[in-house]
């Protein structure tokens, strides 16, 4: 009970976080899911506008593709006690001039990630979704092991097992990448599917 109380207290602090409010066009609305029995941790980039509006992580087409990679339907994804979600940035960071979203705000990870992980000691696999998560975690825990590009990092996914598994971000922009790199859905996704099934069975 003490552990759950501490986790609840942390989640309340995260929900009230406003350290980068001045940089958020829609204001702060942290979207995370901490689970004390988590075995799979998903670290993505930052919420998009639909996730900001609903407060539900991965509640968009990117989430549909991610769930397909995991081999999970929405019910299993959202209700499993073994799946935690801690993005690099907890709030919607605004629109970039390039047409996509801005990078995750840099304040979140150093402020909250280690504190969150301390309450989830049973994590066996951390999914590093996209370049920001890969740079932060691989450079910290496996210095010198990350490749120079996201594609090369994902292509060498076996080098980071069993603790980490890098993937591209599952946004619509990745559709072309998947066509050029069919090995991801033929090799990586089935491995991920099998690991996740073992966690959530």
- Specify the CATH number for the domain of residue 88: 3.40.470.10
Q: What are phi and psi of 146, to 5 degrees?
A: -70, 140
What string of pLDDT tens digits covers the 201 residues of the chain? 445 689 999 999 999 999 999 999 999 999 999 999 999 999 999 999 999 999 999 999 999 999 999 999 999 999 999 999 999 999 999 998 777 889 999 999 999 999 999 999 999 999 999 999 999 999 999 999 999 999 999 999 999 999 999 999 999 889 999 999 999 999 999 999 999 999 887
For 34, 118, 141, the CA distances from 112, given in Å and listed in that order, are: 11, 10, 17
Helix spans in the chain (H): 2-15, 49-54, 61-70, 74-79, 108, 114-117, 131-141, 150-155, 174-180, 183, 189-200
Instruction: Give the residue among 152, 160, 158 at the shortest CA–CA distance from 181.
Output: 152
Separation of alpha carbons 61 and 59, rounded Å = 7
Residue 30: name the closest of 20, 38, 40 by CA: 20
Measured in whole angstroms, how far is the alpha carbon of residue 122 from the centre of its chain?
17
Distances (CA, A) of 22 to 18, 26, 28: 8, 10, 9
Structure tokens given for 190: 């089935």
pLDDT value for 4: 64
Q: What's the domain range around 68?
A: 2-200
- Cβ neighbors of 58 (< 8 A, separation 6 or more) are 42, 44, 51, 66, 67, 77, 85
d(CA 192, CA 71): 8
Question: Count of domains in the chain?
Answer: 1
- Using alpha carbons, select from 130, 124, 116, 113 the residue that is nearest to residue 169: 130
pTM for the full predicted model: 0.95
């Amino acid at each position: 009970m003490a552990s759950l109380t501490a986790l609840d207290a942390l989640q309340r602090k995260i929900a009230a976080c406003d350290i980068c409010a001045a940089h958020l066009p829609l204001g702060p609305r942290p979207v995370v899911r901490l689970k004390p029995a988590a075995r799979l941790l998903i670290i993505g980039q930052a919420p998009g506008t639909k996730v900001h509006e609903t407060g539900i992580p991965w509640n968009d087409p990117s989430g549909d593709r991610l769930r397909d990679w995991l081999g999970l339907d929405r019910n299993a994804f959202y209700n499993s006690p073994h799946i935690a979600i801690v993005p690099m940035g907890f709030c919607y960071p605004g629109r970039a001039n390039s047409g996509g979203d801005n990078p995750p705000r840099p304040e979140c990870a150093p402020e909250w990630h280690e504190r969150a992980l301390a309450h989830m000691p049973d994590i066996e696999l951390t999914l590093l979704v996209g370049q920001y998560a890969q740079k932060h975690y691989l450079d910290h825990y496996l210095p010198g092991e990350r490749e120079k590009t996201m594609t090369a990092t994902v292509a060498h996914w076996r080098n980071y097992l069993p603790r980490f598994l890098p993937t591209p971000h599952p946004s619509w922009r990745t559709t072309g990448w998947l066509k050029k790199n069919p090995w991801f859905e033929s090799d990586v996704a089935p491995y991920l599917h099998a690991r996740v099934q073992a966690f959530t069975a």
